[in-house]
Structure 1
Amino acid sequence: MLSWDHRPTLSTMGRERAWVEINHSHLTHNIQAIQALLAPGTDLMAVVKADAYGHGAVTIAQTALQAGATWLGVATIPEGIELREAGIQAPILLLGATNTVEQVRAIAHWQLQPTLCTEKQALIFAEVMDSATQPLPVHINVDTGMSRLGVAWQQALPLAQQIQRSPHLHLASLYSHFATADDSDLQTLHCQRDRFQQVIQTLGDHGIVPPMLHLANSAGTLVESSLHYNLVRVGLAIYGLYPAPHFRDSIALKPVLQVKARVTQVKTLPPHTGVSYGHRFVTQRETRLAVVGIGYADGVPRLLSNRMNVLLRGQFVPQIGAITMDQLMLDVTDLAEVHEGDVVTLLGHDQDASISADDWADTLGTISWEILCGFKHRLPRLSLSSPATATANPLTLS
């Protein structure tokens, strides 16, 4: 067995191949900029589902709470458990559906707050909680036009009444979710808001006044203050991206995530040489090729093959050939010098140039949410100015 005085660890190897950098100062800036749009008494929920949109749920949640967020939103029970195991005590709303006895017990044990959409759900929760010493806070999701989870807005009253009658459940909030808040045409948004208002009025007429109301996602938060109610649920915007281009003039956001990798080999190819699987790129001149240690298994979509640039020394460099599982290739012929170990920026800033998740999304005909969520866990998340503790090293593994 080999023995070294200094054994390699994840922290020392984190930037050897490829990694994601998370700028917590930018996250703080974004949250505070959004809060400046809110009326006094309106809280902010940081949506940290899907590993905080690929940014790293625990450290993002810690920073978001330090910056002023008061709630966290997750999609699944394991996502909530991860935050609790990290010592996070803030209220956590479970946005996804739960229907089994085992799920209810886990929710109660980990002090998560579930979403209820049906009377059957409410019955299951009430039966499981019948021996609890305190009622479980629950939230009603009303479907006002999203046609996803939620009780139909015309049928919200019976569900609210059932929760109200149960000594084991406490109605903590009423909420809904916009389907088209990122659209410049606000007709559907206003229809959903009006339906939400009608549900509030109907419940109030029957003596049910939810202590908290929330409707706005990132786009809804930026559209108009009348949509803010007691709480806004913000995901994409806290990560520094805009739900749609027309929001860019309403708030200054800073991208939190950068994706970087290293050149692992440089070689020279003669003209008429095929590159990568299928030879989807063939050199037309003597070409200097740089191999980079990142691929589609890390979250770089294979459909970007021959359709993307990266940044190297502040210059845009074309990617060539099919992107492979662990590697991709660049044409660096026009750069003066390129060496093994040089850092390539796939998303982020390098000198005066930048590439964003929106750029990839536009090329692929998709949305930036999907791009961010695609970066896999084998890419270490490296925190710029770690949220948990001060450190002499400004770049720490998160």
Structure 2
Amino acid sequence: MSDPVPARAEIVVDLAAVRHNVRILKDLVSVDGPVALMAVVKADGYGHGMVEVAAAARDAGADWLGVATIDEALALRAAGDRGPLLCWLSAPGDDFAAAVAAGVEVTAYSVEELEEIAAVGPARVQLKVDTGLSRGGAPRAAWHDFFAVAGDLEREGRITVSGIWSHLAASDEPAHPANDAQEAAFRDALSLAASAGLDPDVAHLANSAAAILRPSAHFDLVRCGIATYGLDPAPGVSPRLGLRPAMTVRARLLMSKEVAAGEGVSYGHTWHAPEDTTVGVVPAGYGEGIPRAAGNTASVWVGDSRRPIRGRVCMDQLVVDLDGELPPPGTEVVLFGPGDLGEPTAQDWADAVGTISYEIVTRVGGRLSRRFVDADETAGGDR
């Protein structure tokens, strides 16, 4: 954190941390036999930079990449990625032809979607089944027809069914009964698909939490999203694996000033100084994706100490309590990072505002610049 800080604020992404995490996860899931790993890089790589993270994950051995939309998949192809790539979220009228032409595997949730994809085929299609999340995917009552139509289209040469998959609802809670129920339902789906003559290349169910906590759900492939970025998918439950958070958000202090006892701070005066103190102004707010709810709850790192946010987070700035100190303008402020020096982490911010680390790192951005560093280059190896 001693590197020069830009004039205002930035996101710093450590690509060596991404590679480090992918290697750890690949080793973990392959203990009992080969299991492929998909690095999920949707939503601009969970706020870390989709193209750059994807390249780092591939370098570290990620077998697949996963994205939500066709646009995301095409952006990866335009950036030069040529490996196995799956997208899974589409709406009627989306450009399946472009995805198929780019060698992207697409996902079907229904017979209607299968037929829309087949119309631009031949396409490689993965079938998503709903095993209990009650979100995307074919519901159980539709599986028989879904697989039958897929089998017919495959025999006609209009599609290749390359995968069957589903998504867990409660994998971060290992004892939750939904995990056993969904895994059993997924196995039933695979059996029914086989009866329809389908023999896909991959079956996959596990997300990051299940990749770490539920080996029985590994099947042929695991999809690692948040763990790729070094964040714990099941805080308080996951074992210590040595994953390293890849994102640091930092800024320069704009100014510091004295505040007298009783004075209110920021909009609405939701905080009053209980005694004479000093505060600092940080040039980042909800326009940069900083949660407004972080006011009076989250902390940042200034100098060598955590400093609490005081008053409401504004659109462009926030105020922190400096406890009597008056550091000069330009002093580095770390909103969150890996936690190596004691600075808050994305999980700390998530806990402070009642959300999950996924939301913290994915929403941050706005006017923040993004810079990539590589500890393999700057420190001679993975940290």
Q: TM-score, normalised by structure 2?
A: 0.91
> Is the CA contact (8 Å cut-off) linking 2:161 and 2:200 kept in structure 1?
yes
User: Which residue of 1 is the match for residue 171 of structure 2?
Assistant: 181
Distance 1:27 1:148, change over 3 A: same
Shift of residue 84 of structure 1? 1.5
> Is the CA contact (8 Å cut-off) linking 1:314 and 1:350 kept in structure 2?
no
User: Which residue of 2 is the match for residue 112 of structure 1?
Assistant: 104
User: Which residue of 2 is the match for residue 307 of structure 1?
Assistant: 297
Render the CA deviation track for 1:28-76: whole Å, top value 9, x for unaligned. Answer: 1111111111234311100011111111101000000001101111111
Tell me the SS of whatever aligns to 2:307. Answer: strand
1:196 aligns with 2:208: no
Cα distance in structure 1, aligned partners of 2:161 and 2:27 = 29
User: Which residue of 1 is the match for residue 350 of structure 2?
Assistant: 361
Cα distance in structure 1, aligned partners of 2:359 and 2:67 = 16
Cα distance in structure 2, aligned partners of 1:253 and 1:118 = 37
> Is the CA contact (8 Å cut-off) linking 1:98 and 1:104 kept in structure 2?
no
RMSD across aligned positions (CA): 2.2
> Is the CA contact (8 Å cut-off) linking 1:216 and 1:228 kept in structure 2?
yes
Cα distance in structure 1, aligned partners of 2:49 and 2:14 = 11
Letter in 2 for 1:34: L
Cα distance in structure 2, aligned partners of 1:202 and 1:270 = 71
Unaligned 5+ runs, structure 2:
none
Letter in 1 for 2:99: I
Shift of residue 391 of structure 1? 8.7
Render the CA deviation track for 1:194-229: whole Å, top value 9, x for unaligned. Answer: 111111112223332212110100011112322111
Matches within 5 A, 1:138-217: 138-166=125-153, 167-217=157-207
Deviates most, 242-251 or 179-188:
242-251
User: Which residue of 1 is the match for residue 11 of structure 2?
Assistant: 20
Q: Percent identity?
A: 34
Cα distance in structure 2, aligned partners of 1:211 and 1:157 = 20
Tell me the SS of whatever aligns to 1:344. Answer: strand
Cα distance in structure 2, aligned partners of 1:281 and 1:210 = 59
Shift of residue 296 of structure 1? 1.0
Tell me the SS of whatever aligns to 1:37. Answer: helix
Letter in 1 for 2:9: A
Cα distance in structure 2, aligned partners of 1:256 and 1:159 = 40
Cα distance in structure 2, aligned partners of 1:168 and 1:139 = 13
> Is the CA contact (8 Å cut-off) linking 2:289 and 2:366 kept in structure 1?
no
Equivalent residue for 1:93, pick from 86, 89, 110 = 86
1:50 aligns with 2:24: no
> Is the CA contact (8 Å cut-off) linking 1:98 and 1:114 kept in structure 2?
no
Shift of residue 154 of structure 1? 4.3
Unaligned 5+ runs, structure 1:
1-12, 130-134
Tell me the SS of whatever aligns to 1:93. Answer: strand
User: Which residue of 1 is the match for residue 56 of structure 2?
Assistant: 63
Tell me the SS of whatever aligns to 1:310. Answer: strand
User: Which residue of 2 is the match for residue 288 of structure 1?
Assistant: 278
Equivalent residues, number: 373
Distance 1:14 1:290, change over 3 A: closer
1:275 aligns with 2:265: yes
> Is the CA contact (8 Å cut-off) linking 2:297 and 2:353 kept in structure 1?
no
Letter in 2 for 1:30: N
Letter in 2 for 1:306: N
Tell me the SS of whatever aligns to 2:132. Answer: coil
Letter in 2 for 1:122: L
Deviates most, 65-74 or 275-284:
275-284
Tell me the SS of whatever aligns to 1:173. Answer: strand
Tell me the SS of whatever aligns to 1:99. Answer: coil
Tell me the SS of whatever aligns to 1:30. Answer: helix
User: Which residue of 2 is the match for residue 132 of structure 1?
Assistant: none
Cα distance in structure 1, aligned partners of 2:197 and 2:235 = 42
Distance 1:246 1:285, change over 3 A: closer
